[in-house]
Structure 1
């Protein structure tokens, strides 16, 4: 999953560089980068959803443990409920929904205002990262508890 981390870090570095250059050009030359906001907006969307996949892959997402005391004796049931009902189903449904939005945007030829970039590409990227997150969450349920989770029990 280091590839996802590197991709998110690269996008973040690009956003920071673009912002520094944009602000510098704006104040020094009164010439901001024409589509700086548009590119930053699209890159942040992709980076946020990549980071969701990174958090799920490394088991660093937030878990609500309200029913843990009740399910203490049947830890396999607790793990299954945690994984399947929480992250996996929600991400898969969200991914499919955003994929349909991407399909509609692709069919209509929707593009951004300044650069004319296709909106469908960002929607498809977000959908793929959400579906990847769902697959990683489902894998975590099948693979069993990690060392960190075993220590928590």
Structure 2
């Protein structure tokens, strides 16, 4: 029986699909908000000579939210940018080892990014940093990005430990 048809493999696939769907909906809502902010700003600026106050800051925060909210779904799909000039020809055990090592590198990198974002959040929190116009505190933003990176690292580690096959983007 292949791993995809075992109980663990089936549950992992179902969990992947559910988590991917939740992430897709949340990211979609954030993209709609970003589109709305841009639309209101442009219409206000060109038709009413009244741009949306703080639109550039909202845009920056929403773009960051889209990127970090989508990161766990990318990790579930092994959807990181890769160059497989040599690895495309690997089969069997060699391919399994290569996927495992690549996942472990991703875990380490996401762990480092998460740690640094958390530290950065602590520093800017201590300084009371906010956005310039809206006065939105930045420490919670950095901390949320850190948590999403840590979650993504945990997802990739789980994929590596369970030796799950590479996910497919079309599985939503």
TM-score, with length taken from structure 2: 0.77
Look up the match of 1:52.
Answer: 71
Structure 2: which 5+ runs fail to align? Answer: 1-18
Q: What secondary structure does 2:147 align onto?
A: helix
Give 2:153's match in structure 1, choosing from 131, 134, 137. Answer: 134
Q: What secondary structure does 1:64 align onto?
A: coil
Aligned mates of 1:147, 1:114 — CA distance in 2: 44
Look up the match of 2:12.
Answer: none
Structure 2 residue 104 is the aligned partner of structure 1 residue 81: no
Aligned mates of 2:70, 2:76 — CA distance in 1: 10
Aligned CA distance change for structure 1 residues 89 and 67 (closer, same or farther; 3 Å): farther
Look up the match of 2:29.
Answer: 10
Look up the match of 2:144.
Answer: 125
By how many angstroms is 1:6 displaced?
1.5
8 Å contact kept, 2:72–2:148: yes
Look up the match of 1:28.
Answer: 47
Structure 2 residue 127 is the aligned partner of structure 1 residue 108: yes
Q: How many residues align?
A: 148
Aligned mates of 1:46, 1:141 — CA distance in 2: 26
Range with greater deviation from structure 2 (135-144 or 9-18): 135-144
